[in-house]
Amino acid sequence: MPSIDFLVDQYLNYLLVEKGLSKKTLESYGSDIARYTQFLDKKGITDISDADTSIILKHIISLRDEGMKARSRARHLVTLRGFYKFLAQEKFITHNPARVIDLPKSGLHLPHVLSVDEVKNLLSIPDTNKPSGLRDSAMIELLYAAGLRVSELINLKLFDVNIDACFVRVFGKGSKERVVPIGLFAKEKINEYVKTARPVLLKKYMSHFLFVGRKGKPLTRQGFWKLIKRYATKANITKTITPHSLRHSFATHLLEGGADLRSVQVMLGHVDISTTQIYTHVVREHLKKIHSQYHPRG
């Protein structure tokens, strides 16, 4: 059996070459696995096949005892699951001892999700008679329509959106490309923005970016966050929301409407479906409320 350090190097190389993960994501995975291998070292384990399910559980418990929050422990476990899945696929081990361990339930907490009515209200706030207001309206509409990350939204190029075919091409984490459909509302709003507001905002400048600010430059994450916060206040939304709340709302509303988990996973650009499964927790809570409200024995 190769050394644990060798196996870790093989896995990280696999993530880099095969999965195309970004440097930042690789560092996060590497940090999680390094913490685990340090734990194995303290236990005197030098052969990875000697680390069974109970050892992994003891490691997760030790992280809890050290003060790591449930959400971080859940992410840590996802990393270890991926590591062991790779080892099993490559025949370094005969079975995956991490597969049967459930994620910490309190690690499934989500930021506030907007209701459909709250989303509609938020979308009605930007003043579309102004070029900047029409741009903001199109950005919020697309953010919700396609479940984009903020970084994906502000970095969209003009040619990334196919208005006629109603889809947007996105480059997510690790430069992974995905294609996400958009609805008629987003299509019409983007089309109107591109034809009328964008040329006014550009003035004499040129830009490849779809959504532009001063001198043709894209908006910053912080700048767009301030816009969302201001519009949410005007819409009398009391929940603490961020641009990411619209991504969460996108996924939750799709699942509530009957979409299957795999389809939502693809549209969100999640590599691991366990990341997408956190939204089923929200949907279950929604169904419990519906049952309690409408069932005669609720």
- The verdict on 80 and 148 lying in the same domain is no
Mean pLDDT score of the chain, rounded to an integer?
Answer: 85
- The verdict on 40 and 172 lying in the same domain is no
In angstroms, the CA 58 to CA 214 distance is: 53
Output DSSP code: residue 161.
E
- The verdict on 151 and 234 lying in the same domain is yes
Residue with tokens 């700048």: 223
Catalytic (active site) residue 205:
no
Catalytic (active site) residue 81:
no
Residues in the chain: 298
Q: Is the pLDDT of residue 232 over 70?
A: yes
Q: Tell whether 152 is covered by a domain.
A: yes
- The verdict on 193 and 259 lying in the same domain is yes
Q: Tell whether 95 is covered by a domain.
A: yes
Where among 102, 136, 165 does a domain terminate? Answer: 102
In angstroms, the CA 76 to CA 37 distance is: 13
pTM above 0.75, yes or no: no
As beta bridge partners, residue 135 has none
- The verdict on 213 and 286 lying in the same domain is yes
Catalytic (active site) residue 253:
no
- The verdict on 154 and 91 lying in the same domain is no
Of 205, 232, 204, 231, residue with least CA distance to 218? 205
Going by DSSP bridges, is the β-strand pair 177-181/161-162 parallel, antiparallel, or unpaired? Answer: unpaired
Q: Tell whether 258 is covered by a domain.
A: yes
- The verdict on 58 and 148 lying in the same domain is no
**What is the per-residue pLDDT for 211?**
95
In angstroms, the CA 8 to CA 75 distance is: 18
DSSP code string of 255-298: HHTT--HHHHHHHHT-SSHHHHTHHHHHHHHHHHHHHHHHSTT-
- Domain at 169, CATH number: 1.10.443.10
Where among 35, 68, 102 does a domain terminate? Answer: 102
- The verdict on 90 and 156 lying in the same domain is no
- Identify the domain containing residue 20 by its residue range: 4-102
Catalytic (active site) residue 173:
yes
**What is the per-residue pLDDT for 108?**
47
Where among 102, 131, 160 does a domain terminate? Answer: 102
- 47: Cα separation from own chain's centroid: 35
3-state helix, strand, coil in the chain (%, to 5): 65, 5, 30
- Which of the residues 178, 244, 281, 286 is marked catalytic? 244
The string of pLDDT tens digits covering residues 177-229 is 888 888 899 999 999 999 999 999 999 899 999 999 888 888 888 899 899 99
22 touches 102 (CB < 8 A): no
- Domain at 85, CATH number: 1.10.150.130
62 torsion bin: left (phi>0), alpha (psi -120 to 50), beta (else): alpha
The string of pLDDT tens digits covering residues 112-167 is 688 899 999 999 999 999 999 999 999 999 999 988 988 899 999 999 999 888 88
Q: Tell whether 137 is covered by a domain.
A: yes
The string of pLDDT tens digits covering residues 74-110 is 888 889 999 999 999 888 998 888 887 766 555 445 5
- Which of the residues 59, 76, 248, 270 is marked catalytic? 270
Catalytic (active site) residue 176:
no
- Which of the residues 173, 178, 221, 286 is marked catalytic? 173
Catalytic (active site) residue 270:
yes
For the packed helices 4-17 and 70-89, what is the interaxial angle rounded to 10 degrees? 90
- Which of the residues 76, 189, 198, 247 is marked catalytic? 247
- The verdict on 152 and 284 lying in the same domain is yes
Q: Tell whether 156 is covered by a domain.
A: yes
CB atoms within 10 A of CB 294: 8
- Which of the residues 59, 149, 189, 198 is marked catalytic? 149
- The verdict on 211 and 169 lying in the same domain is yes
- The verdict on 128 and 270 lying in the same domain is yes
Sequence-ordered list of residues with C-beta below 8 angstroms from that of 48, at least 6 positions apart, any chain: 1, 4, 7, 40, 87, 92, 93
- The verdict on 183 and 154 lying in the same domain is yes
21 touches 15 (CB < 8 A): yes
pLDDT above 90: percentage of residues in the chain = 39
Number of domains observed in the structure of the chain: 2
